[in-house]
Chain A
């Protein structure tokens, strides 16, 4: 059965069950994965799946059911309608409206090149063994995934996307007879197998850094200083920032400290945050979960808040505009300072490879362990540190970004630079 036939069948089932308005998502996926354990390819997996999500609106009451057996669609449609009938009226519930533009997105290869994928992984493992013999890969591997999705509703919307992409990800640490180093990880998504895996998602660079982490010792002091956040750590901080201040949940709850700050300064002038699915360096997600095209967007432009991250429901609820996408590709635009220049600007502080912290509270206060990190003194990396914590506030941190590197790392999902943040509490 074609995607169009399947989704029409699901919509009809919802109408028959009594939905006044209905929307369906259908996804068909196939994944081939080569899995590592302790640095050896030990498994090959091929998985197929189908997903059908049925949303029923009865008046303005909403219910949603997801199934993966086509035969279950009529029953699930009836249950979605029953769920909606038990819910409360909410004017914010709606289904996607018809927009002008492309209906179908087609991106990436259709088929997995199994032999080429194996060869890339094998080459990577040999490369690591030869160049970085102290690196121990705990797990990870590579995969090819082909996902065909479509959304349709009773407003007449029909959008589809087919995406084929490869990916690799590795969890690793450095170690020798005397020491087990700290774990780190990298991951990346890409459309072809043209590049060695060590060049994807900063994998080679991060592994080299792990080797330099051996001989780690506690910081042994407490001070307030500068922190250079590596792209992975920055990516986590950006996610926290958006969850805390810009996402629908915090706006509906009324807890966001930025709820009244649209169009106003919320970060340093050097800070521009975008989420651009059309960026050719990224494997962009082209449809939103609630049935719209995902367009490029600026979230913060030169420090000014340009957009919240709001779905149709959250936008209706809060009275703001629905955002052009919901932040799948949050990236802070690079600056013009070379990475070495960033380091040179730090009198005393930390290079933080990864942040392992508690979820920040509603205010945006954060504290956590600076993992895979190094002490910096007078612009030079002095030594690796362990058991070192950093603490601060997200809003203050994004207003205290002193400089931004020109270099970035792309994971295929996000593309971020290194940033130097002042005024962070450091203790260990």
Chain B
């Protein structure tokens, strides 16, 4: 269905309304020790309508016929009216009409067999070169989200957002005979399989690095627990931006009690820290998860969250923007056709500083260099936790022994005030955020030197 056809279906509705047709296509191929444990693809699509008549009413169905479109509009409106009869009173910002078209690129597409050959080649390289490994996982995953949207405010958009990623994990027997594992940072990013991958040999050097690092981790020691001076590698700084800061400044969570509600225009971090949630372009390049229009039909723009240590902004949808008295910037995103838009991050990034990573490490007398986040969570208080899959001691300015897996934690707005150095480089990493619905996001960061609580002995 075209945006114009969807817009026509909204004719005659006096309330604010959105109509979205969406299809998600995903791919999952997994090899575990050479066994193909997943060889699956899925396509899920349908139509959804959301109406605001003092309350939100939403409905969705897989059928995309004209009758189905009218049925979901009617059910959404009935739901809004039902709730409105019990209360209601929601006001929303009805700003601007966007006209956005970012269609899928026409290209010859690889067959399932070709994709399987690709991961087999990676697996064969690993087992051929490193036969003594205890286990090896090779995973190819892909997700394409195609959305067509019309809103009663006049937005017409058609967007296609693809991502393709290879994940590799190895384990080896540690010094005490128990397994030690390590995962490679996700390889890939924006684009379909054919846009991102070609020759598997390109990934071989990353496999070699993964193996060499795993061998160091085999000899790893447990870190000493407590507050330590640490240099967080860019991937950890990125997840810090997302989990510890980003979630606390999503305005639906601010309304729910997030600590950041009391900190607007206040200094919350070292002046070396600036954090931006980029919409689609950063530093002159397309971001890993480019969002040009959100699912409320708002043209996407960057949201500056922290500027030189001062909390300057929140992320909004139409409803919270109205309450806060600002314009929404395109953060309302829905994962599936059957999901309502929620306030979500897009490409959240700590901006690079001016320090060199080697100088940062050289400046630490007794601490740790930490990287490879395994997972992360944050609280409305700003308290956060990240699993850390790889780390090294820093003694007298030099990297020392590797560490076993650990966890770091802190209170974001306290911890960010301890940042004394920020590196001049930047690394983006793809991720999936799990706030009620899954969502593709990316996180970017330089390395940062800070004081942070390390879980350990």
A interface residue numbers (CB < 8 A to B): 34-35, 37-51, 53, 62-69, 72, 76, 79, 82-88, 90, 92, 114, 118, 122, 136-139, 171, 173, 175, 180-183, 222, 249, 252-255, 257, 313, 317, 356-363, 365, 367-369, 371, 386-387, 389, 391, 425, 427-428
Contact = CB atoms under 8 A, between A and B. Distances in A.
Contact of B252 (A38, A76, A356): A38
A255 B169 CA distance: 13
B270 interface: no
Given A82-B111, A138-B380, A427 B455 contact: yes
A58 B114 CA distance: 18
A68 to B, nearest CB: 5
Nearest to A181: B381
Interface string B58-92: 11111110000000000110011011001100100
B226 A255 contact: no
Interface residues of B, number: 86
A38 B256 contact: yes
Contacts of B82: 44, 114
Contacts of B116: 86-87
Contacts of A138: 252-253, 255-257, 380
Interface string B402-413: 001111011100
A45 B79 contact: yes
Interface stretch (B38-46, B281-289, B442-450): B38-46
B180 interface: yes
Contacts of A427: 225-226, 455
Interface string B110-142: 011110110010000000000000110100000
Nearest to A66: B42
Interface in B364-416: 374-375, 377, 379-381, 383, 385-388, 404-407, 409-411
A41 B116 CA distance: 47
A44 B406 contact: no
B367 to A, nearest CB: 17
Contact of A90 (B36, B46, B410): B36
Contact of A361 (B117, B405, B455): B405
Contacts of B60: 47-49
B252 A139 contact: yes
Interface string B158-197: 0000000000000100100011110000000000000000
What are the nearest 7 A-B pairs in CB distance?
A358-B387, A138-B256, A86-B113, A367-B455, A43-B56, A253-B135, A66-B42
- Give the interface centre of B87, B113, B381 by most chain A CB atoms within 10 Å: B381
A211 B186 CA distance: 41
Contact of B55 (A43, A79, A357, A362): A43
Nearest to B169: A253
B405 A67 contact: no
Interface string B334-362: 00001010000000000000000000000
Interface in B218-241: 225-226
B205 interface: no
A72 B43 CA distance: 9
A47 B62 CA distance: 9
B266 interface: no
B14 interface: no
B145 to A, nearest CB: 15
Nearest to B62: A68
A387 B409 contact: yes
Given A114-B82, A362-B178, 14 more contacts: A37-B252, A46-B79, A64-B39, A83-B40, A85-B113, A181-B381, A222-B226, A249-B32, A255-B134, A255-B135, A255-B171, A365-B404, A369-B407, A389-B225
Contacts of B179: 255, 257, 361-363
B383 A44 contact: no
8 contacts: A44-B79, A68-B44, A86-B113, A180-B381, A181-B381, A183-B257, A183-B380, A362-B179
A67 B42 contact: yes
A47 B134 contact: no
A37 B92 CA distance: 14
B83 A43 contact: yes
B343 to A, nearest CB: 10
A122 B41 CA distance: 42
B79 A180 contact: no
Nearest to A257: B178
B57 interface: yes
Contacts of B39: 62-64, 83-84, 87
B432 interface: no
Nearest to A63: B39
Given A63-B39, A180-B259, A362 B112 contact: no
A371 B37 CA distance: 36
A389 B453 contact: yes
Counting chain B CB atoms within 10 Å of each CB, which of A92, A136, A255 scores highest? A255
Contacts of B148: none
Contacts of B108: none
Nearest to B117: A86
A252 B256 contact: no
Given A48-B60, A83-B112, A114-B82, A64 B383 contact: no
A63 B112 contact: yes
A44 B83 contact: yes
Contact of B40 (A64, A72, A122, A367): A64
Given A45-B58, A255-B134, A255-B181, A68 B46 contact: yes
Contacts of A69: 43, 45, 62-64
Interface in B412-452: 436
Given A66-B43, A90-B36, A175 B135 contact: no
Contacts of B33: 252-254
Contacts of A72: 43
A76 B45 CA distance: 14
Nearest to A118: B86
Contacts of B259: 180
Contacts of A255: 134-135, 171, 179, 181
Contacts of B257: 136, 138, 173, 175, 180-181, 183
A82 B41 CA distance: 12
